[in-house]
Amino acid sequence: MKAILLNLDYSYISSISVGRALKLIAKRKVTVEKYSDRIISTVARDIAVPLILRLVYLVRQIYRKAVTWSKKNVLVRDDFKCVYCGAKSNLNIDHVVPQSKGGKNTFENTVTSCVSCNNRKGDRTLREAKMFYQRRNFTPYQPTVMEFIKKYLDSIGVYDLLVREGIY
């Protein structure tokens, strides 16, 4: 189980483990905004599991100019769907220009694909494999930092939870 850690201004920082959340509460570094339904029973007492925590001080966050390339970040950019068929399971990364033909690990050269589409495309370009993207006018792109943060928060459901709990 995870707890959501918010900054003093209620901006999202991260998801943390319940153990880490309890340590922050004990050190009085956070205030609990919302508890979950779960309870941890100890020998001495029962402890309600925190769901949403807010720091008692403001942490200034410095964002990078660009999102770094990683397989996870490509999956987030493509909404965890195969760009060729729209499947949501057995996903991996496909190089638009294969690595054997000089393709690099960049956002502009990688897309999310399912294993079957990736095997069908093989070591060929899209034109050679006679394949196309499911979404019209889609081209792989480098996401901005703010766009990536929004997509990431949507993918793990943080924003919906904060709205449901009345924080946003």
Q: What is the residue range of 14's domain?
A: 2-60+154-164
Total tally of structural domains belonging to the chain: 2
50 and 20 in a single domain? The answer is: yes
d(CA 158, CA 61): 18
d(CA 160, CA 158): 6
Residue 90 has pLDDT above 70, yes or no: yes
18 and 37 in a single domain? The answer is: yes
Is residue 138 in some structural domain?
no
96 and 53 in a single domain? The answer is: no
- pTM score: 0.61
Range 157-162 average pLDDT = 74
Is residue 123 in some structural domain?
yes
Residue 67's nearest CA partner among 128, 6, 149, 5 is 149
The pLDDT assigned to 45 comes to 87
pLDDT tens per residue, range 93-113: 999 999 999 999 999 999 999
